[in-house]
Amino acid sequence: MNIQTPILEVRHLHKHYPKIKAVDGIDFSVPTGICFGLLGPNGAGKTTTIEMMEGIIRPSSGEILYKGEPMGPRFKNEVGIQFQSTALQDFLTVREHLNFFSRLYPKNMSVDELIEICSLQAYLDRDARKLSGGQRQRMLLAIALVNDPEIVFLDEPTTGLDPQARLNFWELINRIKARNKTVLLTTHYMEEAYKLCEQIAIMDHGKIIAQGSPNQLLAEHFQDVIIELPASDFPVAAQTLPHRRLEKVTPMIEISTRDVNATLAELLQAGASLAGLQVRPRSLEDLFLELTGKGLRP
């Protein structure tokens, strides 16, 4: 493979159903060896896109290239997928599941290596039905890696996990990247995408509406920072600060400003208490909401 060739490339991809355009002519590429995040609100088309990239459903038109060639048997042997929900065999232990799935592929990673990468040592002989949420996700990741894949699809892998389990899973993803494997991640956690992804694409209404590195996109869309102040410390006189965008996010007031010092002086002059004040840079969540809106999606 030419070193410049993306591991996956999506060209003019469409998926139409009788009453909806789920994916409406998107183009993007995934470089080798990175974590690429595909983000979007409910109904944006990202799940349909992922399922076409995984080879589960057929596009209406367009093409998906793997290492510069149409997807085929080579792709099927070199891809690993961790689905949102996976049916497992009853009464089998973690070790037995790994051995079972390893036998399904002509090429596989050793079970001992899978155990080490995914930190499964402590519960290898436990019935898989008795695993915690984080433990189960570790085992499912190991199953996705049994064929030593070149690219791994992770579909919202940390949904429902507690903060500690989520952080531990992030470490596993970094271990996979360190082995020069490509990770394609979907997630609703913007902090997760920011921490893990070198590149992201944001979808809405079946189209790609932004693509690039998280920091690049933040720099392109924002030149301000956010000052957060408890609403109880925000006097009426401060509600007309010149050239400042105010937004109430209960129980906080958020002030968008390019000049922190000037805004702080204006707040003090208006009689605001600054005891609970916080200043934060713009986040990927800000960008996501800016581009896709704040209304609830069905």
Tokens representing residue 44 in the block: 């944006």
Tokens representing residue 222 in the block: 């924002």
Helical segments of 54-158, H only: 73-78, 94-102, 111-117, 133-144
Tokens 């989520």 sit on residue: 166
Q: What 3-state DSSP class applies to 183?
A: strand
Q: Could you tell me the pTM of the whole model?
A: 0.90
Domain range annotation of the chain: 8-219, 223-281
Class of the CATH-defined domain 8-219: alpha beta
Question: pLDDT, tens digit, for every residue of 72-103?
Answer: 899 999 999 998 777 788 889 999 999 999 98
Q: Are 35 and 173 in contact (CB under 8 A)?
A: yes
pLDDT at 43: 87
Q: What 3-state DSSP class applies to 189?
A: coil
pLDDT at 181: 94
Helix, strand, coil content of the chain in percent (nearest 5): 35, 30, 35
b/e per residue 215-251 (b: at least 16 CB within 10 A): eebbeeebebbbbebeeebbeeebeebeebeeeeeee
* Total residue count of the chain as it appears in this document: 298
CA distance 74 to 221: 40
Question: pLDDT, tens digit, for every residue of 117-169?
Answer: 999 999 899 998 898 888 999 999 999 999 999 999 999 999 888 999 999 99
pLDDT above 80: residue 296: no
Question: pLDDT, tens digit, for every residue of 29-71?
Answer: 999 999 999 999 988 999 999 999 999 999 999 999 999 999 9
Return the percentage of the chain with pLDDT > 90, whole number. Answer: 70
CA distance 165 to 173: 13
CATH architecture of 223-281: 2-Layer Sandwich (3.30)
